Amino acid sequence: MTRMKRCLVKADDYGFTEAISLGILKAYREGIVRSTGVMVNMPAAPAALGWLREAEGLCLGLHINIVVGKPAADPALIPNLIDEQGVFHSSKKYRAELAAGRDPIPDLDQAVAEVEAQIRRFIALTGRRPEYLEGHAVRSPHLLEAMALLAKRYDLPHLSYLENCDHRLTERPQRAASIYPFYDQGVEPAAYFTEDLGGIAELPLSLVTLHPGYLDREIYRMSSFTDVRIKDLEAATAPEVKAWFAKKDIALISFRDITQY
C-alpha cells in the first residue's frame, strides 16, 4: 500500500509582536499551520503564549533569535552578540559578515550561552520543553553548532542545517521551494499551493516555512520583512488551499508526528 504523503507547515516568529502572533493563531485555527516557533526574548512573547490555552493542537517550538531585541543571556557572557545599547546586532550585519566568509559569532561559547538561555526562558514561560528547536534569520556556523549541541543536551527534536545533526526525528522532511520569490513574480499567495509551485505533491514528506501575521507599528520598526506576512496569512487560510491538500490526499502534520518519543 502506498503511504499517504505528508506536509509539515510551520509558522515562524510567534511572540515577535502581538499582531504577528494573532496572525499565526488564525493560520492555525482556520488554516494549514500545525507548528510554530516562539521568539521568547521578545516583549510580546509572554502575552502571546497566554493565548495558546485553547490551541493545544498547535505544536510549540523554540525559534532561536539573535538578531532583534534584547538577549536572554547575561550580556556579560555574550559581548559579541550585542551592541552598545545591549540589543542584538541586526541580521544585515550578520549577513554581511557571512558574505565576507566570516562567522559573525566568533566564539562558540557565546552562541551556546544565548541558545541555552532561550531554552531556559521557554521552559520558564511555558512550564515545558520546546517541542522542536530551530533558528531565526541567520545561519552562523557557531550558532548552528550551538543549537545542535543543546538539542542533544536537552533532548529536543531538531531539524538541523548541519549534516548528521538532526536529533530525535524519525524522518527528515524535504524543504519545499520557498514561497517568497513567487510573490516577487506577482503570484497570488494561494497559488503557491494550488499550482504546487513548491513541488509539495512530489515529495513524500515536505516542509513549508511560512511567516503569517498581521502587521503593527512594532514590526515595521524592527523588521523589513513585513508585507510578506500578510500574503503568507492569506495563503495559509485560503479555503482553496485546504481543499487542495484534501484533493491531493496530503496529510497536514506537525513536528509531533515525526518525533521519536
Per residue in 183-208, pLDDT (tens digit) is 999 999 999 999 999 999 999 999 99
Least confident of 134-143, 214-223, 235-244: 134-143
Q: H or E stretch including 138?
A: none
Global pTM value: 0.95
DSSP one-letter code for 40? T
The three-state (H, E, C) secondary structure of 77-131, written as one string: HCHHHECCCCCECCHHHHHHHHHCCCCCCCCHHHHHHHHHHHHHHHHHHHCCCCC
In this prediction, residues 82-95 reach a mean pLDDT of 93
The pair phi, psi for residue 170, each rounded to 5°, is -80, -25
- Per domain, the residue ranges of the chain are 5-258
Place of cell 510578506: 228
Helix axes 239-248, 227-237, angle to 10 degrees: 50
Least confident of 34-38, 82-86, 129-133, 160-164: 160-164
Class of domain 5-258: alpha beta
Place of cell 506537525: 254
Is 170 exposed, middle or buried (CB count within 10 Å of its CB: 0-12, 13-18, 19+)? exposed
What is the pLDDT, as a whole number, of residue 1? 54
How many C-beta atoms surround the C-beta of residue 116 within 10 A?
18
How far apart (Å, rounded) are the C-alpha atoms in residues 102 and 133? Answer: 24
Higher per-residue pLDDT: 48 or 137: 48
In this prediction, residues 24-44 reach a mean pLDDT of 98
Place of cell 515545558: 128
